[in-house]
Amino acid sequence: MASRRHTVADKATEITLPITPMLDMSFQLLFFFISTFKLPTGMEGALELNLPSEAAAKAQDIASVNPNQASEDAAPDLKNEVTISVQTLTQGGDPDNSISMLTLEEKSGKTPLPPPTGGYQRNLPELTDKLKEIADLKSETPTTVKIQGDSTLKWRDVVRVMDACRKAGLPSISFAQPPDYASYGHN
């Protein structure tokens, strides 16, 4: 009988897993994530809004609330009111800049602020400059700004308009019902 020679290729290859370097790497990653973790604060993502208090509630229970009934409270006296109408793009356009038109409305009339070439900039300097002019003219009493945006307006654009108002020195901001509110069947 012929003897068969065993070669190195015939032997089963042994697989070894280096566990120590993997453990070292996992502990380094764990240390990195623990050392860079920051607890979220209460101010993170917060908007300063004034909502009615619980003491202002008139209904005894939720079942007695009629949402179609007009409010019994008198409308606030907003003598120096400026309404900013914000229209959005309906199709296409830059997703980061969805504002298509800004219009300022005062007692003296409407003032359109057409977008410059390339669209409105992120910080809306045109709106800030116009609001500063209005604030300087009516410096005896603070001007209240009302923002009226389309119902498809993104919240980031609402915050951009609010920032422009704050930069112009007009921190008193309220919101108006969208002009296209009825077309969505909310009435």
Q: Give domain status of residue 28, yes or no.
A: no
Give the number of domains in the chain.
1
pLDDT per position as a tens digit, 1-11: 566 666 655 67
Q: Give domain status of residue 174, yes or no.
A: yes
pLDDT per position as a tens digit, 117-163: 777 777 788 888 888 888 887 666 667 888 888 877 888 888 888 89
| CA–CA dist 83, 173 (Å, integer) | 10
Q: What is the pLDDT of residue 89?
A: 72
Domain of residue 93, CATH code: 3.30.420
In angstroms, the Cα distances linking 146 to 27, 83, 165, 175, 183 are 54, 5, 10, 5, 21
- The encoded tokens of residue 46 equal 């917060």
Dihedrals φ, ψ of 175, to 5°? -125, 145
| CA–CA dist 110, 103 (Å, integer) | 7
Q: Give domain status of residue 25, yes or no.
A: no
Read off the pLDDT of each residue in 103-130 and give the average, rounded to a whole number: 83
Q: What is the pLDDT of residue 142?
A: 67
Q: What is the pLDDT of residue 79?
A: 56
Amino acid residing at 154: K
The answer to whether 89 and 150 are in contact (CB under 8 A) is no
Q: Give domain status of residue 57, yes or no.
A: no
Report residue 187's pLDDT band, with 50, 70 and 90 as the boundaries.
Answer: very low
Q: Give domain status of residue 91, yes or no.
A: yes
Q: Give domain status of residue 68, yes or no.
A: no
Structural domain harbouring 121: 81-184
